[in-house]
Structures are given as C-alpha cells and as structure tokens.
C-alpha cells in the first residue's frame, strides 16, 4: 500500500514539475496588457496618493517603471484602443471617434504576435464595433458593457454572466491562464477593464469604501476660463451643469422631481433606473441601505449653487474611487496568479488607461481635451528581465508606442507603417535620444460633451493648441510656470519667439505624422454625412 502511495506522489510530482518546465522554459516573453477605462493618474497612488491608495497597481511601479509623461493621441475610448493595437494615429487607423468602426484588415500587434507563434487572448472592454480579430480567445463587452451581471460577446455568441464586471473579467483572464492557454507557446493577454468608466457603479463590497472621507477639491473646480477660448465654455462636461444627479450621483428620479431638479439630458433618469434594475433583489436592498441615507441627506440639505457643485463633486469622487478599489484588488489577484505560477519573471505587465480623466479640474469630469489631466494617462511597466525596480521615466511617450514596444519585447521586427517607437531602449538607459514633442488630434464634434475639434503640440515645457471647425482659436500654455493651464498666453508679447517656433514645430509634426488640413476637411465632410444619416 505504502509503495503504491509513494509511486503516486512521485509521479504526481514529476508530471507537475514537467508542466512547469514546459511552460516556463520558453525563451520568449509573455505579455499582459491591462487597459482600464478613464483611470486618471490623479487617482493612482503611484502617481499621487492624495485621494486613493492603490497598493496592487503600485506594485508595477515599485517592481518596474513608472512613466510620468505618458500621453494619448486622441483622448477618447475607441480611438485610443485603435492606436494601441495599430501603433498609428487616428487619421490613419480608421477610428477617429467612438462612432467609427475599426478596420480589422489592418496590421495590429496581436495579429503579428500570433503569426510569430504567440497565443493571444482578450477579456473585457474592446469598444471597436467590429469583432476582435487576431485573438485565439476573446470574450468582450458589447459596446460600453455593464457594471452588474454583464453580457459578453464571444466567438460562440452573446453570453450573460453573474457578478460584478471587474471581478468577472479577472475570473475570465485567470481562467484563460490556468486552463485554456497552450503552455507550449508564449502568451499575450489583454485584460481590459470597463472600470472606472461613467456612471461609476461600485461593487457591493466597496459601496461605502469612501463614506467618511472628504476628498480634496482641486483648485480649479470653479474655473471661469477667463483667458481660454470659447471651447472650454461650450464644453458640456461641467460637474455643476452637466453631471447627472440621477445616473451619476444616484439620486432617485422621484426625489429630483419632488425637489424640482431637471437633468441636463432627458435620458439620464432612465439610465439610472436601467442600471438599478440590473441588480438582484438582494443587491437592490443592500444598495438602498447605502444610497437611501445619501438621498435623505440630499433632500435635507438641498444644496444650491456652489454648495451643490461641491456636493456633486464629493459624490462623484466617492463612486469613482470606489470603482477603482475593485480594479486595484483584481489587478492584485492577477499579479498574485503570476507570482504563484512562476510567471512573474518572464512576463511583461503593462498597466495603462485609454486616456486620463478630469477629477474636477477646470470644473469638469470626462476627458477629450488636450489639457494635461485628460491628455496624460497612467503608464506602468514591469518586466524584471529588462526593467530595474522603482525606476521613473520622464520622456514624452505616447500610446502609439505600445505596439512597437510589445513587438520589440517579443523580438519581432516593427512594421514601418507603425508611427510609434519602442520604449525598450528607455528601459536600459536614460540617455536615449528621444522625441522632443508630441502631436495630438481630437475629432468627436459635434457630439456628446461638445468638446470642439482641436489639434496641437506639447513639448516638455509648452503646449500649443488650435481649435477649429465652428471656431478658430489658438491657446498656448507655459507648463513650467502654469502647470494647471489657467493662463492662455497666446499672443502674449513675452512669448512671441516661442510661439512662432511652436507653430513651425507643429507643422513639421503634422507633416511627419501625415496629417493635414485637407484630411481635416475630408473627415468633416464624412462626419456630417454620417450625422445626417443618424438623424434620419
Ligand atoms: C458615454 C458617457 C460619456 C462618455 C462617453 C465616451 N455617458 O457616452 O460621458 O464621454 O461614453 O466614453 S454615459 O452617461 O452613458 O456614461 S469613452 O470612454 O467610451 O470614450
Ligand atoms: Ca475611456
């Protein structure tokens, strides 16, 4: 009997260690790419610990590299995802706004990896209208997806799941790593969250995570845009005027009616009810226990004017941060999985967001503008084989660089049509000759939040922006003297020389990245045509 038992243990041990050698003895690196949705660097403690602590995500900084000058090319969801996949700017990759459909015939980094022997998988947010192509495994949220009990699109149709979206996506990612993946191949896993996208519905366990906290108010919450162009005044994303008391701040429509509040958009109350009705009866009870007293409090104080803006800001932040708590916990689960399965050393983990987000700066929520809070995005990379722990990089990097970086890590040639550069040289040596300026171009106008079309250049110190279409306006900022971008100094005589130099540099950049006024006109024409079709 003993003999049989010993043989069994021995065989089990052999087959188990066999499994480990087979999967871990590869000379190719694995890649885990995490893209969250609307995660502001101001709400990630590796960048700034004033409002939240995110110990699990922070691990990627303490065990890897934090990029403190990472930016996007077009601060909005679908466009950023298309940039990440293709390494090309929006005007060349078929997705300039959230209405465009991704052209899946293009070259993307997952497709190339797959051709070179990688296994590829994506779980979570996709938001590119077409089905994912270039992935061995995919389960993605339809469009924006839901926080509670989300549906997923899969190669075998739409499936409904139970649970909270951030947990569900993580379960799927870990299930892929544990059960589905081919252990003879290196893998590239895109683990993309819906969180912390509007309308910020936290998980049941985080509903009260920030209950007794007062969140510090940004200095520019009551910005009057005195020196800015009309673009800022016309944008419809002020906490005061455009944030929904119902859908965003979770005040019941009946109470709003009783207090005579009218929402900025008529569908907000319906959206609130639709989200609430997705909860199970038990969850609804738990929800009401938390948000009921908040509603009572709102009725009692019935804030107006500035007091109402401050009240909405606190509510907004508590839900937004609550949603991030779940992201942090789940990223921790995934990192633990890598640790426990001997995958940490040979896996590059990237954490980023599709763009930044305004947390009350200039009075706003949402993104889209080329101002810092929205233009910048968190970017952390851990790869023990090539990146020293606790390093900080301050070069101007951008999401066009993601695809080239991943290919470089995998030892694959970077196609010349990709416009970004591999970040790998920045891992080893801080004295790399790197780009001196970034280009940006935003298009989705007219559209939700009404942020006007604009493009511009950012150098380490300055930013020059042109707003166009139904406005013609330039803005210039000296980021060293005015990091909060409160003083538009365009045409200020002290900056004449700098201004003309930046104009010239901007034109050079547009030429370099193959953008132009004639393309702008072409896009305006096709967007107007599409708008008409949508209206009919
Ligand atoms: C929804 C949101 C907007 C947000 C867009 C795009 N409204 O329309 O506030 O800007 O998505 O976001 S909501 O009330 O329906 O949440 S993006 O991240 O996908 O670009
Ligand atoms: Ca987004």
**Half-sphere exposure in the Cβ direction for 395 (13 Å, CA):** 22
Q: How do residues 7-58 score in pLDDT, each as one tens digit?
A: 444 444 434 433 333 444 357 899 999 999 999 999 999 999 999 999 999 9
Per-residue pLDDT, 535:
87
Quote the ligand 1 centre to 336 CA distance (angstroms).
32
Per-residue pLDDT, 26:
54
Atom in ligand 1 nearest the alpha carbon of residue 248: 14
Atom in ligand 1 nearest the alpha carbon of residue 197: 18
Nearest CA to ligand 1 atom 18: 77
Evaluate: CB of 189 within 6 angstroms of ligand 1: no
Which ligand gives the minimal distance to the CA of 355? 2
Atom in ligand 1 nearest the alpha carbon of residue 365: 9
Q: How do residues 240-271 score in pLDDT, each as one tens digit?
A: 999 999 999 999 999 999 999 999 999 999 99
Q: How do residues 498-536 score in pLDDT, each as one tens digit?
A: 999 999 999 999 999 999 999 999 999 999 999 999 888
Per-residue pLDDT, 28:
86
CA distance 63 to 40: 21
Per-residue pLDDT, 10:
42
Does 454 have pLDDT greater than 50?
yes
Cα of first residue to Cα of last residue in the chain, in angstroms, is 80
**pTM for the whole structure:** 0.94
Q: How do residues 357-397 score in pLDDT, each as one tens digit?
A: 999 999 999 999 999 999 999 999 999 999 999 999 999 99
Q: How do residues 116-168 score in pLDDT, each as one tens digit?
A: 999 999 999 999 999 999 999 999 999 999 999 999 999 999 999 999 999 99
Atom in ligand 1 nearest the alpha carbon of residue 199: 16
User: Are the CB atoms for 204 and 326 separated by under 8 Å?
Assistant: no
CA distance 485 to 187: 42
User: Are the CB atoms for 467 and 460 separated by under 8 Å?
Assistant: no
* Pairing between β-strand 454-459 and β-strand 437-442 as defined by DSSP bridges: antiparallel
Mean of the per-residue pLDDT values of the chain:
95
Q: Classify residue 340 by burial, with Cβ atoms within 10 Å: 0-12, 13-18, 19+.
A: exposed
For 85-94, what is the mean pLDDT? 98
Quote the ligand 1 centre to 88 CA distance (angstroms).
23
Evaluate: CB of 448 within 6 angstroms of ligand 1: yes
Evaluate: CB of 372 within 6 angstroms of ligand 1: no
State phi, psi for 106 to the nearest 5 degrees. -70, 165
Helix residue spans in 341-417 (DSSP H):
372-375, 402-409
Q: How do residues 335-351 score in pLDDT, each as one tens digit?
A: 999 999 999 999 999 99
Evaluate: CB of 247 within 6 angstroms of ligand 1: yes
Evaluate: CB of 125 within 6 angstroms of ligand 1: no
CA distance 346 to 414: 21
């Amino acid at each position: 009997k003993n003999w049989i038992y010993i043989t069994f243990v021995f065989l089990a041990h052999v087959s188990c260690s066999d499994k480990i050698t087979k999967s871990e003895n590869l000379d190719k690196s694995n890649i885990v790419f995490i893209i969250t949705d609307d995660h502001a660097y101001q709400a990630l403690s590796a960048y700034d610990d004033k409002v939240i602590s995110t110990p699990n995500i922070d691990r990627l900084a303490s065990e890897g590299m934090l990029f403190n000058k990472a930016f996007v090319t077009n601060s909005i969801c679908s466009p950023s995802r298309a940039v990440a996949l293709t390494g090309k700017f929006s005007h060349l990759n078929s997705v300039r706004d959230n209405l465009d459909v991704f052209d899946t015939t293009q070259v993307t980094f997952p497709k190339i990896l797959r051709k070179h022997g990688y296994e590829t998988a994506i779980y979570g947010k996709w938001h590119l209208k077409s089905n994912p192509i270039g992935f061995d495994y995919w389960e993605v949220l339809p469009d924006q997806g839901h926080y509670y009990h989300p549906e997923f699109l899969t190669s075998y149709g739409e499936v409904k799941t139970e649970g909270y979206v951030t947990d569900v996506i993580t379960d799927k990612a870990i299930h892929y790593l544990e059960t589905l993946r081919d252990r003879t191949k290196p893998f590239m896993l895109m683990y993309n969250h819906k969180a912390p996208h509007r309308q910020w519905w936290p998980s049941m366990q985080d509903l009260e995570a920030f209950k007794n906290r007062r969140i510090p108010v940004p200095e520019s919450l009551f910005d009057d845009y005195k020196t800015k162009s009309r673009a800022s005044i016309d944008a419809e994303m002020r906490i005061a005027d455009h944030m929904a008391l119902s859908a965003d701040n979770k005040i019941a429509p009946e109470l709003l009616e009783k207090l005579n509040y009218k929402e900025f958009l008529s569908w907000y109350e319906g959206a609130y009810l639709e989200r609430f009705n997705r909860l199970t009866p038990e969850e609804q009870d738990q929800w009401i226990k938390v948000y009921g007293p908040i509603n009572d409090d709102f009725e009692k104080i019935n804030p107006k004017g500035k007091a109402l803006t401050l009240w909405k800001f606190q509510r907004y932040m508590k839900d937004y941060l609550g949603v991030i708590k779940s992201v942090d916990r789940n990223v921790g689960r995934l990192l633990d999985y890598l640790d426990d399965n001997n995958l940490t050393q040979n896996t590059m983990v990237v954490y980023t967001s599709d763009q930044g987000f305004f947390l009350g700066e200039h009075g706003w929520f949402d993104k889209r503008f080329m101002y810092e809070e929205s233009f910048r995005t968190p970017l952390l990379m851990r790869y023990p084989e090539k990146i020293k722990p606790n390093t900080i990089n301050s070069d101007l990097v951008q999401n066009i660089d993601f695809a080239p970086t991943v290919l470089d890590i995998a030892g694959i040639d970077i196609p010349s049509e990709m416009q970004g550069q591999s970040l790998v040289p920045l891992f080893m040596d801080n004295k790399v000759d790197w780009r001196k300026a970034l280009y940006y171009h935003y298009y989705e106008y007219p559209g939700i939040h009404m942020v006007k079309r604009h493009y511009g250049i950012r150098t380490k110190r300055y930013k020059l922006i042109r707003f166009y279409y139904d406005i013609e306006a330039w803005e210039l900022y000296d980021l060293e003297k005015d990091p909060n971008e409160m003083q538009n100094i365009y045409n200020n005589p002290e900056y004449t020389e700098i201004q003309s130099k930046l104009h010239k540099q901007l034109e050079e950049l547009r030429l370099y990245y193959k953008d132009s006024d004639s393309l702008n006109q072409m896009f305006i024409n096709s967007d107007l045509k599409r708008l008409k079709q949508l209206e009919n």
